[in-house]
Chain A
Amino acid sequence: MSKILVLLELAGQGADVAISRHSLEVVAAAQQLAPQELHLCLLGHGLHAVIQKTLGWKANRLHYLDDPRLARYQYEPLVRIAQQLIEQLHPTLVLFPHSYQCRDYAPRLACRFQRSLLSDVMKIEDHNDTWHLQRPLFQARAIATISAPQSAITFVSLQQGCWNSEDLAVADAALPAAVLPTDFLRDEWLTAVEEPVRETAKNNRLQQAKRVLSVGRGVGSAENVERLKLLATQLQAEIAASRPVCDEGWLPSSVQVGSSGQTLAPELYLAFGISGAIQHLIGMKGSRKVIAINRDKNAPIFAIADIGVVGDLMELANALLAELQLGGE
């Protein structure tokens, strides 16, 4: 029978520290698998309020460590402490939110058990003696279904937004909690980390926009971006972009949509030449209506688009500008 361990992740700083919403989704996913035992692990500092909240959840045990040496995330202590916990618990499944943090330490942890991490998983089902999992391939243009035996340990990170954090079940009785040993904590590791700094704040103008015109790699040049900025103004939309456009320096990173940038939910999202890599979709899939133009009719952006145009984005932009009587071809 299955024992599942969920490695929770913290979000926010200082007094605002809380368990990340993505972690709540993972707990909900684990509960739905109805394991024999569900164990949670939480590592960090200043966790008193966070722990109190967690104790209301439906699970079997919380394993935690609240120590100043864990105040800043670093992969080295997390790998070591989680390794020790897994060696004691023998879970059949270890779940993570597929976050930047997970991507930084979960592969190394899995490696210590001679396993790879099954990453970015969108669906997981219990088929008695095997897990059936789905994960994207080719930047979400295809989906692979994979089976993993339950006789051995499996490490899985779950994609954000595939489960609902509101499905997390609470319990009447408080969850038993156990403090993890501090034996593996050290003052210094090979890597030394500084305090994380927020350089790109929330872009309020973009956050509040009802219409967003977002530009992807397909735009091709800085000149074309200028043309789309003009179109955005005419369409009463704010301009935004996917990562490659900001990497090129065609638009500032303050308008980058996706996991490393802004998360938006406007009434209308116009995707111009955006293929729809998952990192981008995370930042815009809450949009009420999506209109997408892309040359490839199989581009993943069309999986979440209400209205689609298959064709050249600049041709469409110029046709729109011409109709808006601003010239164009």
Chain B
Amino acid sequence: MKIGVLLKEVVVCDAALHLDADHGWVQEKDSRYQANPGDLHALEVALAYKDREDTQVVLVSLGLASHQQYLKDALARGADRAVLISHAEPHRLEPLAVAKELAAVCNEEKFDLLLAAVQSDDRGDGQVPLLVAECLRLPHFSMVVEIDSQQPLRAKREWESGYYQWIKSPLPLLMTVQSGINKPRYASMKGVMAAKKKPIEVRATSVAEVSTYSLLSIGLPPKQKETRFLSGSMREIALQLLRELKLR
């Protein structure tokens, strides 16, 4: 089987953001980067196939040519090679523009299965994988939480309010997976060494850009409530909270 994994680099979101209003994004120098956490679950699904049967795992990404660490990490975890479509300002591209670029690569590669996350931590458009599927006229399953590996492929998808549903489809197919589906493996020392010889093919964009809307501004979200921040030592804060809860 030949599996493509759509991978994306994102800004680490658990620290304070340094917005760059002029460029409508974050300040590159003050930000830390990593693979989109959800993408690692998609990669893990692919690597689990590779553990069981003869499988080639190819990473397909669009991003800055100067940032390749997330791809090296994914290769160290066990992917075979990577294709990086280089773009100087990936955050400026609309989801459909990104999808067309990715679809062009996938079209050449002829994957049996395409895997991706449900959404990215940065833009959270939640649609690039499905747009890729539509461009390639492939069926899709979204928000998959469990896979039944029989043919034709059968998987369990998540709905709102605790509902789940089994879906099946023949391959080729695209799937977006939820974070609860597995625990991504870490790279072994051997994997890190092996990754040094694995190719990352950097190529230019190949499709005419889609541009239908424009970014006017970026800012911090409005406060919906006036938050009273407690200060003092942790003990003093704890006492204030207990009084608030009428337990003191």
Contacts and interface: CB of A to CB of B under 8 A. Distances in A.
A145 B139 contact: no
B225 A137 contact: no
Interface residues of A, number: 89
Contacts of B24: 144
Contact of A107 (B11, B131, B227): B131
B225 A303 contact: yes
Contact of B216 (A108, A146, A319): A146
Interface of A: 75-76, 99-101, 103-104, 106-108, 110-112, 114-120, 132, 136-149, 152, 154, 189-202, 211, 235, 243-244, 246-247, 253, 259-261, 263, 268, 275, 290-292, 296-298, 300, 302-311, 315-316, 318-320, 322-324
A220 to B, nearest CB: 12
Given A260-B158, A308-B230, A142 B165 contact: no
Contacts of A143: 218-222
B107 to A, nearest CB: 15
B151 to A, nearest CB: 13
B224 A320 contact: no
A142 B221 contact: yes
Interface string B229-248: 11000110111011011011
Interface in B7-52: 11, 13-17, 19, 24, 26
B168 interface: yes
Contacts of B166: 193-194
Contacts of B218: 137, 142-145
Interface stretch (B62-70, B79-87, B109-117, B122-130): B122-130
Interface stretch (B53-61, B185-193, B196-204, B206-214): B206-214
A308 B227 contact: yes
A146 B92 CA distance: 12
A316 B234 contact: yes
B217 A144 contact: yes
